[in-house]
Structure 1
Amino acid sequence: MPFQKPVICMVPGAWHSPEQYAMLRDILHREGYQTESIQLPSVGSTDPANESVTKDVQAIREKMLLPLIDQGKEVVLLMHSYGGCPGGAAAKGLSKAVGERGGIIGLIFLAAFLAREGDSLKSVRGEFDPWVITNDETLQTTVRTPIETFYNDVSKSLAEATMKTIQPHSQVALSSPSPPSAWPDEVYNGRRAYILAEDDQTIPHVAQKMMLEYSGVEWETRTMKAGHCPFLSKPQETAEVIKELTSGFQSRSDEAGHHLVRL
C-alpha cells in the first residue's frame, strides 16, 4: 500500500472560520497533506440562543471527522484557541483502533484551551475577558480589540483584512459546559501535543503553561515566538511544526499499532 499522509483537520477558534487558516492550509497542501476544516455552528449563527459547545462537538464529529474515518483515513486533529473545547470532546472515542485503517492518531492544541468536563470559556475567570463585548439582547459576542488581542504580531495590512472577516460568536455557546475531552485519555500518551505562543495576548503564555502543568498528563510541546494566531504571522513555521508533530504521531502509531484501542 502506498504511503499516505494523515489528514490534518483544523478546528477554528472563537469568532474565526476556516478562511482565516487558508495560508497555513495552502502550505500544507503543497507539502502533500489533505486538510479539512469546519465552520462552527456557534460562529456567525442566526440562532445564537440555541448554540452550545455540544452542538459544535456534534458538527465536528459528524461533518468532518467521521466521514474521513469511515473512509479509512488517519487524522491529526489541530485545535486553535476555543477550538480546543469542542475539538477535544469531538475526538472522544475516535482514536485509531486495532485492525482499523482509520482514526485519530494525534491531537495538536495550538494556543488552545484545555477544557475539562464542565469547563467553559466564561468559567475560567467567572466572566468574559474585558475585550469581549457581550450583547444580552442578541446573545452574541464580538471583540473590542481584535488586532491587539489576536493579531498583535501580524502585518498591519493582513491584520486589518482579517479583522473584517471574523464573525459574532454565540454568548450561550461560550458559556456552555464542555463535554468530556479526549486529551486526558491514555490512548493519546505520546500522541498529544501543545504549541505554545510566547506573545499571545488572548491566552497568555503563562496561562498556557499552567494548563499544561495542571493537566495531569504528559505533553509534547513546541514554543513559538508568536501571538495568538501564528498561522497568520508565521504560517511557514507553523506548518513546519505541525508537519514534524504529525510525522512523529504517524511513526509511533505505525510502530505501536497493536497496542491501540478505541476509547
Structure 2
Amino acid sequence: MTRPESRPTLLIAHGAWHQPSSWAATCDALAELGYRTRVPALPSAGRNPAPTGSMYDDAEVIRRELSGVDGPVVVLAHSYGGIPVTEGVAGATSVSHLIYLAAYMLDAGESMYSFHGMETPSDTSGTFPLMENPREALYHDVADELADKALGQLVDQSLRSFADKVSTAAWQDISSTYVVCGDDRAVPPALQETMAARATASRTLATGHSPYLAAPHRFAALVDEIIRSAPAAR
C-alpha cells in the first residue's frame, strides 16, 4: 500500500463561476486518504469588481502554484478548469498525471468558443452569463442544502477566458485520465466522450456535473484509485 507521505500532492483547478471553497468537502475526503491538496483561485472568476482575467492568467496561476509544491503532483481539472490546466501544465516535469473531470480537454488552437462551433466575439470584455437554470445544470443530484449553499457562492466569469485559445496541450506529453459524468446536464456526456478519446484512459461516474459536491467520498476514492493505477507517462 502506498504510504501517505509518498502520495503526490493534488492541485485542483475549479470550474467557471466557482471558487476554491466549492472543493472543501472533497479536499477533506482526500485528506482522509492521505493526500495534500491545493485549490488556487483562478482570476477569471470573481465579483465586485467583475473579473477580467484571461485563460492565460489562470494558466499562470496554475504554473506558479506548481512551482511551490515539493515532490510529484497530480493535477485535477473540473469543467472550464481543464482549459488553463491544459495550457499551464505543459512542460511541467513535476506533474505525473492529469485528471479531467467533465472538463474541457482542448487541443492547441482550440478555445471554448471554437470547440462548440461558435464564432469568437469581437469584444471579449465583460462577463459570460451563467446558464439559465444552474441548480439543474450543475447540481441536480446534490442535496438541497448543499446545492443552495453552492449556488450562493457562484461568482462572475470573464468572457475572455472562454475566447482564449490553447497554445500548447499538456495532455500530449503527460498521461491523463478523463472522468465522464454520465448524468451531466451541463456538459453533455456525448461531448465528454469525444474529449475522453484524447486521454490515456477514461472512467465513468453515474453522477451529474459536480460529483465533488454530490458524492465527495466516492469521488475521492475514485481519484485515489486512478492515481494508484495511473498509466505510465507517454
What TM-score, normalized to structure 1? Answer: 0.80
Match of 1:110 in 2: 101
Secondary structure of the equivalent of 1:14? coil
CA contact 1:25–1:35 (8 Å) conserved in 2: yes
Inter-CA distance 221–137: structure 2 relative to 1 (3 Å threshold): closer
Change beyond 3 A, Cα 1:211–1:241: same
Q: Secondary structure at the match of 2:115?
A: coil
Q: Which runs of 5+ in 2 are unaligned?
A: none
1:142 to 129, 134, 138: 129
Question: Deviation digits for residues 140-195 of structure 1, max 9, x if unmatched?
Answer: 1231211111111111221111001010000111112122111022xx3xx31011
Q: What is aligned with 1:229?
A: 210
Q: Give the secondary-structure state (helix, strand or coil) at the position aligned to 2:66.
A: helix
SS of structure 2 residue aligned to 1:183? helix
What is the alpha-carbon distance in structure 2 between the residues aligned to residue 30 and residue 115 of structure 1? 32
How far, CA to CA, are the matches of 1:137 and 1:41 in structure 2? 15
Q: Which amino acid aligns with 1:244?
A: E
SS, match of residue 105 in structure 1? strand
SS of residue paired to 1:112? coil
Alignment root-mean-square deviation, CA: 2.3
Could you tell me whether the CA contact under 8 Å between 2:73 and 2:97 is conserved in 1?
Answer: yes
What SS does structure 2 have at the residue aligned with 1:78?
strand
Q: Residues 116-131 of structure 1: matches in 2 within 5 Å?
A: 116-127=107-118
SS at match of 1:59: helix
> Contact 1:15 / 1:142 at 8 angstroms: preserved in 2?
no
* AA partner of residue 230 (structure 1): P
Q: Distance in 2 between matches of 1:82 and 1:164?
A: 19
Q: Give me the whole-angstrom Cα distance separating, in 1, the residues matched to 2:125 and 2:105.
A: 28
1:67 and 2:68 matched: yes
Q: When the two structures are aligned, how many residues end up with a matched partner?
A: 227
Q: Identity over the aligned pairs, expressed in percent?
A: 30
Counterpart of 1:54 in structure 2 is: 56
- 2:81 alignment counterpart: 83
Give 2:181's match in structure 1, choosing from 193, 197, 202. Answer: 197
Deviations 1:3-28 (A, max 9, x none): 51110110001111110010000011
SS in 1 for 2:179: strand
Q: What secondary structure sits across from 1:196 in the alignment? A: strand
The answer on 1:174 being equivalent to 2:175 is no
Q: Any idea what SS the aligned residue of 2:26 has? A: helix
Identify unmatched segments of 5+ residues in structure 1: 96-102, 129-133, 254-259
Is residue 206 from structure 1 mapped to residue 190 from structure 2 by the alignment? yes
Specify the structure having the higher radius of gyration (Cα). 1
Separation (CA, whole Å) in 1 of partners of 2:193 and 2:50: 35
What CA distance in whole angstroms lies between the structure 2 residues aligned with 1:10 and 1:161?
A: 20
C-alpha distance in structure 1 between counterparts of 2:14 and 2:142, whole Å: 18
CA contact (8 A) 2:50 2:127 kept: no
Does residue 156 of structure 1 match 2:144? Answer: yes
1:247 aligns with 2:228: yes
Q: In the aligned structure 2, how far is the partner of 1:40 from the partner of 1:77?
A: 14
Paired residue secondary structure (2:34): coil
2:226 maps to amino acid:
L
Code of the aligned partner of 1:120: S
Q: TM-score, normalised by structure 2?
A: 0.89
